Every structure is written in C-alpha cells, then in structure tokens.
Amino acid sequence: MDHDNVWKYAEYSTFNVESGSFKYRLHVNGYSGNAGDSLWLHDGMSFTTYDNDNDNNGTVNCGSLFRGGWWYHTCHTANLNGEYGNTIKSKGINWYYWKGFYYSMKEVRMMVRKP
C-alpha cells in the first residue's frame, strides 16, 4: 500500500523457499497482478543479511547496504524488508516496478497459500 492508501498486488503461481542447507534459496515464477513483477530478479537467489552475504554483488553486501534481509541479487528490484519510511535510493520498502527506488511503501504484506 502506498501513502495514498492505494493497494496493488503481485501474485506468483510458484513461490518456494528452500531449506537452510540451501541458504533459503527463493524460487518464484508465474507473475500476475497490477504492481509489476519486481521479484523476477530475485528468482534463484539465496537469502542475504548484514552478517551473511549470499548476493551476487561482488563489491558490497546488499543486506548491509540496503538495511534488510532479502533475496538480494545485485542488489534488488524488490526490498520488502527495507527500512520503513526511508526514501534514500533503494533503502526503504521498495517495489521498483510500481513506485521505483525512492518511494518507501506505507504497508506491505507477503502471504503464502498452502497448495
């Protein structure tokens, strides 16, 4: 939800997170919705945090730089665990294909449905 209380959504026909022995690797595919597919870049990525760098960025730890734990690539097009209210480029709660990198969402929800 943005700060005007407008909701958009992204739904995926495949959303799977592997076990800890695979560094919680994300598998996501089959987008539908009206928010844009900001998770496409993160498919196949392992979970990164400030103290566990599993991203594909050889220069920085995206989890530390963007203040969140996420399935960062190099670094992100979605950052739903970013810092609330932070509008510095890419450091807030971002969904790039809806509001870009300088907009931090008011509210987000990730919901998983049991098959």
Q: What is the pLDDT of residue 114?
A: 80
Q: What is the pLDDT of residue 115?
A: 73
> Of 81, 80, 70, 83, which is closest to residue 43 (Cα–Cα)?
70
> Of 37, 38, 40, 8, which is closest to residue 27 (Cα–Cα)?
40
110 or 115: which leads in pLDDT: 110
- Cα 112 from Cα 69, distance rounded (Å): 18
How many CB atoms are located within 10 Å of the residue 93 CB?
21
Measured torsion, CA atoms of residues 97, 99, 101, 102, in degrees rounded to the nearest 10? 170
Residue type at position 76: H
The pTM score is: 0.91
Does 18 score more than 90 pLDDT? yes
